[in-house]
Structure 1
């Protein structure tokens, strides 16, 4: 006679207990084209550079909960953002430090290995700093630790989407990552469509403006890619072989760019430079920008004389939300083509992904002449 499961239970008989289904392995491809395989989504991550929390905090509701350790560079690079993380996720204060991952010598391979992580996330720049590309990665993997190489700095327009996709898969947050990618790609396509046939004004990016001797600027990579995507032409791209460098004031005055753009941050407050960023009021930002534009040497530029002068937060240079900075740039360079576009609305939409609030003055334009 056949008995169903209910009759077996009612008869006091027990059925064998099936083992719980094991978590399925996850497989992702990082920005170096490497295959990264984990037995399950990562729960003990070491961020070789603390600044990668900028991206992880856009795809995970509690990014601190999946960290075993991280680099201390966020304290130096973005103290205001770190303060917001500390306020919302106090557990961040107990995380082990693996040195300052912002430099080759700063990252401690030994400390990272000792934490027994199930994944180490390394930037592309750091991955190539120990005796040639891949050496740091190879040492971690030799210790049995999976490594994912991501990047939002060196070649952001190429590497942002694959970096987000890899992080999403490896942390079990693929759905959220894909939503962010869809937002990012839609905004980038909109910008590209509007500037495709536009005449490109010449642009000078004054990095860390007002805080150091003139003039630190962008050559290849990050900000140069921002300018190109926004429909401009970076005057320093032909002068500098690397991502950043210094050009002389005479070179700048001789080039006399159509548009002057400064980058600023709270790290420049004590140096008397342009102050922009999280928690910065419009009043403080405007005062620092007016002071910068009043610098006698800079006043010789026709872009400043014509009020074609602007500024944005320097730390847009290492977050997927750089799409907002590119939209702002495009609106400055081609106001007639972006009259209906509101970058503040784009930031608000992007901020919905963020684990921390993104309040503050993140960009500014020169006030009209009196």
Structure 2
């Protein structure tokens, strides 16, 4: 063997050894466990990003679909609430991902009692994602977490409903880390926090008008409304004061039409969705034509009791999609509320542009009518 040949062999062996070392380092890096702290302060550990997830509350797909281009590919099972309560979004997911109908359901997605531990265990998921309402709002307060862990299933708790302005950003980071989509989560968080920061800056020194949210408006009973949390957080972030917060002990409740008329809020906001079509109520949502939404809104405002409100007389009325209440897209709802509550401060704010920007993150189209401004051109001076 020539000297040159011997040198080449030594170099080849060295290159091979270096390649093996690099491969070993890469393997170690890939084998590093995924560790997060969920919204209850629990440490959650996975050996690798989750590939088989059970969403105990199906509506958590609203957030997962902002982080992953094909969120259905991650699902081993989910709660039945998404199809029942969010039919307009479900139709869009079905159009893009037909396999959605084959995903097993593990419960109603609403109550702990409606969750099937047996079905979930049989699906052998990498991870079960619980909402705060299903897991309990304090560490150790819910039995479902303990039962799942006793069955050897890893559980993470995230939430976008109970305390949206507190838990949305941490929950996005938790999900992003657990599915290996950290960068996508950080990109959305930067967009989300930037929009909220712009609103907060402009509200410095502003007064806070009273606002009434009429939830599921036009239904058989009046008047469902948020108390503390969820839409109450949205109102506060938008520079208003939730009229119903002092009247209700929980996150939602009902007040009488007489109480609403007596309180006479400065701003009235109705919420609705495609689920209200059968009852003749306010219809908004993905895929809903503007004409359909506007007709249902006009019908609502013509009701004798509501027509007496000064907010209706002064055109300080508007409408929004009820299902903004459980998705990070609520940043769009907060922008719309800010514009309605403080039109003089937010004349140049355009929620439609923010929704269009959010669409680049979304696994499904976000078309349709998700809010309506006041009929007749907006606020009028109060009558004497």
Query: Taking structure 2 as the reference length, what is the TM-score of the superposition?
Result: 0.91
Long gaps (5+) in structure 1: 10-14
Which residue matches 2:380? none
Look up the SS of the partner of 1:245 in the other structure. Answer: strand
2:313 equivalent to 1:289: no
Contact 1:256 1:302 in 2 (8 A): yes
Q: Find out whether 1:272 has 2:280 as its counterpart.
A: yes
The counterpart of 2:271, out of the listed 245, 263, 275, is 263
Instruction: Please tell me whether residue 216 in structure 1 is matched to residue 193 in structure 2.
Output: no
Deviating more after overlay: 258-267 vs 108-117:
108-117
Matches within 5 A, 1:31-46: 31-46=39-54
Q: Distance in 2 between matches of 1:201 and 1:93?
A: 45
Q: In 2, Cα distance between the equivalents of 1:125 and 1:138?
A: 15
Alignment CA distance shift 1:8-1:154 (3 Å): closer
Q: 2:199 aligns with which of 186, 191, 206?
A: 191
Determine the C-alpha separation between the residues in 2 that align with 1:23 and 1:325.
41
Q: Which residues of structure 2 form unaligned runs of 5+?
A: 1-5, 378-384
Shift of 1:8: 6.1
What corresponds to 1:23 in structure 2? Answer: 31
Cα distance, 1:134 vs structure 2: 3.1
Q: What CA deviation, in whole Å up to 9, does each residue of 1:199-233 have, x standing for no partner?
A: 11111110000013111111010011110110001
Change (3 A) 1:5 1:211: farther
Partner of 2:59: 51
Q: Distance in 2 between matches of 1:64 and 1:160?
A: 21
Q: Which residue of 2 aligns with 1:324?
A: 332
Distance 1:309 1:101 in 2: 33
In 2: Cα distance, 1:81 partner to 1:6 partner: 59
Q: In the superposition, relative to structure 1, how do residues 23 and 87 fare at CA in structure 2: closer, same or farther (>3 Å)?
A: farther
Distance 1:366 1:335 in 2: 11
SS at match of 2:31: coil
Contact 1:265 1:277 in 2 (8 A): yes
1:203 corresponds, among 211, 221, 230, to 211
Q: In 2, are the aligned partners of 1:290 and 1:366 still within 8 Å (CA)?
A: no
User: What's 1:120 paired with?
Assistant: 128
Equivalent pair of 1:275/1:288 in contact (CA under 8 Å): yes
Q: Which deviates further from its counterpart, 38-47 or 333-342?
A: 333-342
Residue number among 323, 344, 351 corresponding to 2:352 in the alignment? 344
Match of 1:142 in 2: 150
Residue of structure 1 equivalent to 2:246: 238
Change (3 A) 1:16 1:74: closer
Q: CA deviation at 1:277?
A: 0.4
Q: Which moved more, 1:156-165 or 1:86-95?
A: 86-95
Within 2, Cα distance between the matches of 1:160 and 1:363? 22
Paired residues of 2:112 and 2:144 also in contact (CA < 8 A): no
- For residues 86-106 of structure 1, the C-alpha deviation after alignment (integer angstroms, 9 at most, x for no partner) is 111122222111011122222
Query: Aligned to 2:170, which of 153, 159, 162?
Result: 162
1:253 to 258, 261, 264: 261
Query: Aligned partners of 1:356, 1:16: CA distance in 2, in Å?
Result: 43
Alpha-carbon RMSD across the aligned residues, in angstroms, is 2.0
SS at match of 1:74: helix
Please give the alpha-carbon distance, in whole angstroms, between the structure 2 residues aligned to 1:253 and 1:149. 40
1:3: how far off? 4.7
**In structure 2, do the counterparts of structure 1 residues 296 and 24 end up closer, same or farther at CA, with 3 Å as the change threshold?**
same
Separation of aligned partners in 2, 1:64 and 1:254:
48
- List per-residue Cα deviations over 1:182-207 (Å, max 9, x = no partner): 11111111111111211111111100
CA distance in 1, matches of 2:371, 2:84: 21
CA distance in 2, matches of 1:265, 1:7: 67
Check the 8 A contact 1:196/1:231 in 2, yes or no.
no
The number of residue pairs the alignment matches comes to 364
* Cα deviation, residue 351, structure 1: 1.3
What SS does the aligned partner of 1:271 have? coil
Partner of 2:237: 229
| Structure 2 CA distance for aligned equivalents of residues 5 and 208 of structure 1 | 76
1:368 corresponds to which of 362, 365, 376:
376
CA, structure 1 residues 5+185, in 2 after alignment: closer, same or farther (shift >3 Å)? farther
Query: Per the alignment, in what secondary structure is the counterpart of residue 97 of structure 1?
Result: coil
1:242 & 1:339 partners in 2: Cα distance? 34
